[in-house]
Structure 1
Amino acid sequence: MSRPQPPRLVPPPDLYGRPRPDRYLQALDWLASKYVPLFTGKDRYGTRPRPPETHPQELTVVSREPVADDVVSLRLATGDRRLLPRWQPGAHLDLILPSGRRRQYSLCGDPADRYAYRIAVRLLPDGQGGSAEVHRELTAGSTVGIRGPRNAFPFAGDRKVLLLAGGIGLTPVLPMAREAAWRGLDWHLVHTGRSRASLPFAGEVARLAARHPGRVTVLTDDEHGMPSATDLLARAGEGTAVYCCGPVPMLDAVQAAFARSEAKALHFERFSAAPIVDGKPFTLRLRDGRELLVPADRTALEVLRADDPGTPYSCQQGFCGVCKLRVLSGTVDHRDRKLSAQQRADGEMLVCVSRAAEGECLELDV
């Protein structure tokens, strides 16, 4: 006995009972699919498409405001307000300034804001000119080249966290504090500086303290005296991870005192070159045959800049790669955190941190 076949489905008639699709409605649907997106930027269901994420080479200064004595905050965005690449607390942006100088500044805004990056720059009168150029040239409406974001100071989100910020060192630490609060971590932020007027984003820090009582401490030299590293680390209980960013004396003191604390880990970011460890004098030979002596207490970059102030550099810590040069002969003592094994084998060197053995001569392709 054969199984009965199911009845064949027949499309319903159109509005007038005709056994075919309604041509008038088909035409309206086609017109809507073409012209609604064209004139409204939306699809026919009213959904506006998300602008694509881009990796821009240039951003515009959309706003600029003073946030402390000699500190300006800049908001940077694309000209057409496109989505920017994501970033995490601790990340920084490379700025290529109009002069060609490249400088790195920590992102200090909200990672959830995908349409703008925020940085803050303190004017350094005795610096190399980068901060002065930012203060002088980067006004609202001006454009600046960028690279990044990149992160050499990542926030791991440990269960217990002590955040230490000295002055402008708050810039990478402030997003970490917000992240720690959002995650429900056991955290504490200490912001130190000469005076309250010198502390950037004091209003934001105050609001953070009001929302999270007992988790934010502000210490200024003129009110409380200069805190010792031991005093700062006393807030790190057993198993605490410490994140520290600030001037070199603060970082050196915290590193020296860390072993005596109960903290389990120390993460830090420097504003300037790390101190030279176990340096020995060596020589650089340039293409024109001249030889430059690198003393034990100076870097190859410092010596090259003394000979040619236009020598490019940025982080001075061995991770950005701006100062990379090719070595034609000689053995390099690599101390960077950037080059791959293949790049090193090919003769590349970051002259901001890498050195040579005592008495060695490195012949550079420069």
Structure 2
Amino acid sequence: MESSMERLSRVGVELTLRVAQRRQEADGVVSLTLQALDTESLPGWDAGSHIDVVVGDGTTRQYSLCGDPTRHDSWRIAVLREESGRGGSRWVHDTVREGDSLRVRGPRNHFRLEPAPRYLFIGGGIGVTPLLPMIAAAEAAGAEWRLAYGGRSSSSMAFLTELECFGERVVFYPHNETGKLDLDRLLATPSRDTLVYCCGPEALLEAVEQKTGHWPAGSLHVERFSARSDTAVAVESDHAFEVELSRSGTVVQVPADRTVLSVLEEVDADVVSSCAEGTCGSCETIVLAGRPDHRDSVLTDAERAAGDRMMVCVSRCLGSRLVLDL
């Protein structure tokens, strides 16, 4: 059974924070430094963590923490304005100003930096944000590392000044000057003592996944804030199944056209959700019996194969019954 501390680590806390600083970091990118309304310290976090920000319409968006994990008085996030998005980033850019209050949840981490002697970091656009504290952690651990950072143009690439101080360990790829990231060269030779961490647009993540196919298992770690393209399953293939909540003995039916999460919410099950797209990890639930049909963008291949947890907002059942630790 999940302990209260494990649940807090997964779900995070809800806070109201003040925007202490707003900075233009690049074309279309602003950073927000958030501080507590009182003098209390903020919850600790480590490299790879993100928070949920409640935007104007009451929904949430996930943003990586990209400040200094050793500071407990502030958090920093960076937000790319996406004109074709759902409106959250436009709300931040157009509405949020210094002194405003924001509701946030977290931090949570499904992109942890595992110990290794060497790292290759690959960032695309705003995907560089979770890599900044990872670089600091690698430095502190005395590990070797390199960063390949690509973007549309130098003017659109945030935090260049912060990264330029690392010299040749950081290679910038502004597409309009150098072309796209040279993944063939970067990933040609596998290394058993090197971990690859990548965050960026889905096309970049898929390309890196493809080009690291000959690397040792477990070498690649990626983070997505949009659903991976291979999780889409035709609606006509879905089937109804039942879910038992082990703690109460309640059994519910999940129709073919509804999610597990929506049914659980109807019976007031103790489950938290945020993105409803299988990307944030907040609805992760322990599976005690049955075979999940994984459709999330969070779990690794090994975690999927284990079958002992699932994201109930998108994943379903391969059989006729699941038993969940709820």
The answer to whether 1:216 aligns with 2:170 is: yes
* SS of equivalent to 1:191: strand
Whether contact under 8 Å (1:241, 1:263) holds in the other structure is no
| Corresponding residue number in structure 1 for 2:79 | 121
The answer to whether 1:321 aligns with 2:279 is: no
Whether contact under 8 Å (1:230, 1:254) holds in the other structure is no
How far apart, CA to CA, are the structure 1 residues paired with 2:178 and 2:260? 40
Structure showing greater relative contact order (alpha-carbon pairs closer than 8 Å, 6 or more residues apart): 2
Write out aligned runs for 1:294-305 (5 A).
Answer: none
Q: Give the one of 319, 330, 333 matched to 2:293.
A: 333
| Corresponding residue number in structure 2 for 1:268 | 222
| Corresponding residue number in structure 2 for 1:350 | 312
Whether contact under 8 Å (2:260, 2:312) holds in the other structure is no
The answer to whether 1:71 aligns with 2:29 is: yes
User: Shift of residue 65 of structure 1?
Assistant: 0.7
The answer to whether 1:279 aligns with 2:240 is: no
The answer to whether 1:103 aligns with 2:57 is: no
User: Shift of residue 260 of structure 1?
Assistant: 3.0
Structure 2 residue ranges without an equivalent (≥5) = 1-11, 242-254, 262-272, 286-290, 300-306, 321-326
How far apart, CA to CA, are the structure 2 residues paired with 1:349 and 1:237? 32
Give deviations 1:321-343, integer Å, cap 9, x for gaps. Answer: 3699xxxxxx96355569xxxxx
* SS of equivalent to 1:133: helix
Which amino acid is 2:197 matched to? Y
User: Shift of residue 222 of structure 1?
Assistant: 1.3
Q: Mark the CA change 1:179 to 1:73 in structure 2 (over 3 Å): closer, same or farther.
A: same
User: Shift of residue 277 of structure 1?
Assistant: 4.5
* SS of equivalent to 1:276: helix
User: Shift of residue 116 of structure 1?
Assistant: 0.4
* SS of equivalent to 2:122: strand
Q: Between Structure 1 and Structure 2, how many residues are aligned? A: 272
Write out aligned runs for 1:225-244 (5 A).
Answer: 225-234=179-188, 237-244=191-198
The answer to whether 1:84 aligns with 2:42 is: yes
Flag the structure with larger Rg. 1
User: Shift of residue 81 of structure 1?
Assistant: 3.2
How far apart, CA to CA, are the structure 2 residues paired with 1:277 and 1:258? 20
Which amino acid is 1:282 matched to? D
What RMSD over aligned residues (CA atoms) do the two structures have, in Å?
3.5
Q: Mark the CA change 1:56 to 1:334 in structure 2 (over 3 Å): closer, same or farther.
A: closer
Which amino acid is 1:154 matched to? R
How far apart, CA to CA, are the structure 2 residues paired with 1:334 and 1:261? 24
How far apart, CA to CA, are the structure 2 residues paired with 1:349 and 1:92? 17
TM norm structure 1: 0.65
Q: Mark the CA change 1:120 to 1:235 in structure 2 (over 3 Å): closer, same or farther.
A: farther
* SS of equivalent to 1:161: strand
Whether contact under 8 Å (1:246, 1:270) holds in the other structure is yes
User: Shift of residue 101 of structure 1?
Assistant: 1.2
**Percent of aligned pairs sharing the same letter:** 36
User: Shift of residue 147 of structure 1?
Assistant: 1.1
Higher strand share goes to which structure? Answer: 2
| Corresponding residue number in structure 2 for 1:173 | 131
How far apart, CA to CA, are the structure 1 residues paired with 2:230 and 2:118? 32
* SS of equivalent to 2:184: helix
Structure 1 residue ranges without an equivalent (≥5) = 1-53, 286-290, 302-311, 325-330, 339-343, 361-366
Whether contact under 8 Å (1:242, 1:266) holds in the other structure is yes
| Corresponding residue number in structure 1 for 2:204 | 250
Give deviations 1:84-115, integer Å, cap 9, x for gaps. Answer: 11111100111122321111100000111110
Which amino acid is 1:140 matched to? E
How far apart, CA to CA, are the structure 2 residues paired with 1:349 and 1:225? 37
Once the two structures are overlaid, the 10-residue window that deviates more, 276-285 or 133-142, is 276-285
TM norm structure 2: 0.73
Once the two structures are overlaid, the 10-residue window that deviates more, 273-282 or 181-190, is 273-282
